Structure 1
């Protein structure tokens, strides 16, 4: 297992990879987030993981991969928001990883085993019920409640200037990205020039080229699984004036780590960035702002509006009631069902009638719940093995 982790992360930016390994050492939930490639290699040999309808899946569905964002219509939404691992796979794959994340995250979220079991059942029941109804909806500010409603209200009321001030600093009359070693690192001259040259060419293809005039570039630190992959935060002119600036995210796209374990034929995508963006557009009712598959000199990237890692709900039971957590998990179950319905019948995915039947006939749920407990135990064991190796210096850069 240790060699698998080292091989999977080979070639990544050493500075950010060091941060990734350190984060993975913190607890089993973060370890799970950083080792998606291990998870599917240990998929239980149960019929539900082969016979479930084929759907477009996130691939890395877990509690932290739901969040809020501004859509390309500039309204705020809550949805699945990470598609690095997305592929065509049995619907049960996303469900298993999500349920496993609840079990594994229980301790860090101050949940008892019985409370985690309850949340797993709430998620599955909500998913099945929404799938059985056969109609895809979405979560926005006016239709959301509880913790998610509060998050979307905060995003709607957030002033652009305040957000920019939290991620940038002003030197003279110039606004520059804040290099703090936590969210951003200094790029090399070559990296800066590469990003600037790319965006200058990209801008010419857009309706308002001046919007994409580069003001500053930094290497971005965000997420867990993708840490070490080439990623930048770009400050652009936007609507003009310091408070009219925008922050964009530019992230390298790599092959999905699920591919070695798939027997399903995948579409022939132009690049991995095109794969991720296409599936994201199918999943979400409204796409994230500035979402584009693009190409830099060293391969495919995804360009999009910068999505702060803070734009997620807190599921810590020490801070939230169990009823509030149930309501949030229930919404997540609905979102997954709606996403599968919305993307049904596309390039090999099951049609809605097949998905509706899957949601109506729920005899597979107990099998899935039992499998998720077993997977959680495996993640815990792998996390302990990783921790021991980390402490022995196996992951020193």
Structure 2
């Protein structure tokens, strides 16, 4: 039987009966809500214990920093709310700083989602709410008045709705090929000051290559190129770790396509180091490996990062991938308009899952902390647009568009949620600070 666009549209409208769009504005924490510090402590049990103080030190810096590291806390909060059942491949951690610039294989600089550690199939609105909450937390932290905080959060959700409805009218291939090319964005930036700032960010991103990393992260010791020692952020791998990385390299290589395996084989192993990255990821095992191609001035840096179960998995039906690294890689390929050619996965010692990618490939992110109301509003709109494009590749965009409708009901509700969740995030951040002051957890700020 042939399916027509009207069929998914009807499913979307039917979802409104289960979860009215206005219902997304409610956030009242239950008396049974898990203690946020306990959630973080459970998450840290299998991480490198010596790095947990760094994680907490980064999270106590501000409510926004706390939000970045507390994806597990928000996942449990979203899970107790009614959801639409309109499933997409979620980013799982769609806060403002998990969007940014990177280079496509064709060397165009794109703007897209750029973190997929928590990716998992789930209700589309979970990503939208996390994005809107991050906008509101950032806006309040930047000193914006409440009206502008609300407007920025609402604009992120509005951009998502408007663009999902636009994508619902497009053909399958057109949606799949949709992308946000930074070169096409620059002429749309209205003020000269904002254009200069955007152009400067683009220039910095284009300089962030393996060659630039070679000068920043390595030094020559006794005539040999070595990764620098900068503990605890960057520590050369010991002999055992280096031997392990060499051994598991072939397993990773097998997950690449044939032509990319051929390209990778043109590089030789030079050195490896353990690297501390991010906020929520601190304590997970992560390495960088330096390879050399034609000569020492032809470098390739790959990052090997541990993959765990998504924080969403405890709250949703089973996903299609058993291997966490495969889940991350498949989710990234599905959500991004173009992905790293060296993206792959494998299993390491003690059956730990890892995924591999380039360390730097023209990657860049916005300076959210320095944004005034107009800049943050524009950035929120861009991120909402990007999230809609990513979700449209995997979910039923026609059903989601029909659910969202043509009015602003959904985004007004999401803005209400975002403001309430900003208060919750501030309270949770205060609880973590109190736990540090009481000696319940140890933090090393400023690392």
With normalisation by structure 2, the TM-score equals: 0.79
Q: Which residue of 1 aligns with 2:215?
A: 165
SS class of match (2:365): coil
Give, in whole Å, the separation in 1 of the partners of 2:246 and 2:262: 18
Instruction: Find the counterpart in structure 1 of residue 422 from structure 2.
Output: 376
Instruction: Say if 2:372 is the partner of 1:339.
Output: no
Q: TM-score, normalised by structure 1?
A: 0.89
- Of stretches 36-45 and 126-135 in structure 1, the one that deviates more from structure 2 is 36-45
| Closer, same or farther: CA 52–97 of 1 in aligned 2, 3 Å | same
Tell me what 2:106 maps to: 73
CA distance in 2, matches of 1:248, 1:169: 17
- Partners of 1:326 and 1:182 in 2: how far apart? 36
Q: Which runs of 5+ in 1 are unaligned?
A: 345-350
> Which of 195-204 and 15-24 deviates more?
195-204
Seen in structure 2, the aligned counterparts of structure 1 residues 187 and 372 have a Cα distance that, compared at 3 Å, is same
Are 2:403 and 1:353 aligned? Answer: no
Name the structure 2 match of 1:144. Answer: 185
Give the equivalent residue in structure 2 for 1:253.
307
Which stretches of structure 1, 4 residues or more, deviate above 6 A after TM superposition? Answer: none
Work out whether residues 251 and 346 of structure 2, in 8 Å CA contact, stay in contact via their aligned partners in 1. no
Where 1:208 maps in the other structure, the secondary structure is: helix
Q: Aligned partners of 1:251, 1:59: CA distance in 2, in Å?
A: 17
Q: Do structure 1's residue 197 and structure 2's residue 197 form an aligned pair?
A: no
- RMSD between aligned alpha carbons? 2.4
| 1:268 to 2:308 alignment | no
The structure with higher relative contact order (CA 8 Å, sep 6+) is 2
Asked if the contact 2:109/2:362 (under 8 Å) is kept, the reply is no
1:4 deviates by: 2.6
Q: Is 1:111 aligned to residue 144 of structure 2? A: yes
Could you say which structure has the higher helix fraction? Answer: 2
| 1:55/1:91 contact within 8 Å kept | yes
- Describe the SS at the equivalent of 2:398: helix
Distance across 2 between alignment mates of 1:157 and 1:209:
22
Structure 1 segment 91-110 matched on structure 2, within 5 A: 91-110=124-143
| Inter-CA distance 284–310: structure 2 relative to 1 (3 Å threshold) | closer
The residue matched to 1:256 in structure 2 has which SS? coil
Q: CA deviation at 1:240?
A: 2.5
Is 1:175 the counterpart of 2:225? The answer is: yes
Q: How do 1:169-248 and structure 2 match up within 5 A?
A: 169-181=219-231, 183-200=233-250, 202-203=252-253, 206-237=261-292, 239-248=293-302
2:46 aligns to what SS in structure 1? coil
Structure showing greater Rg: 2
Report the Cα distance in structure 2 between the residues aligned to 1:168 and 1:112, rounded to whole angstroms.
45
Aligned to 1:347: none
> Separation in 1 of the partners of 2:108 and 2:291?
21
CA distances 1:21-54 after superposition (whole Å, capped 9, x unpaired)? 111111111111112111122238654xx12621
Q: Which runs of 5+ in 2 are unaligned?
A: 1-34, 187-194
Judge conservation of contact 1:148–1:328 (CA < 8 Å) in 2.
no
SS in 1 for 2:303: strand
Report how far residue 358 of structure 1 moved.
3.1
- Give the structure 2 partner of residue 315 of structure 1: 368
C-alpha separation between the residues in 2 aligned to 1:30 and 1:274? 28
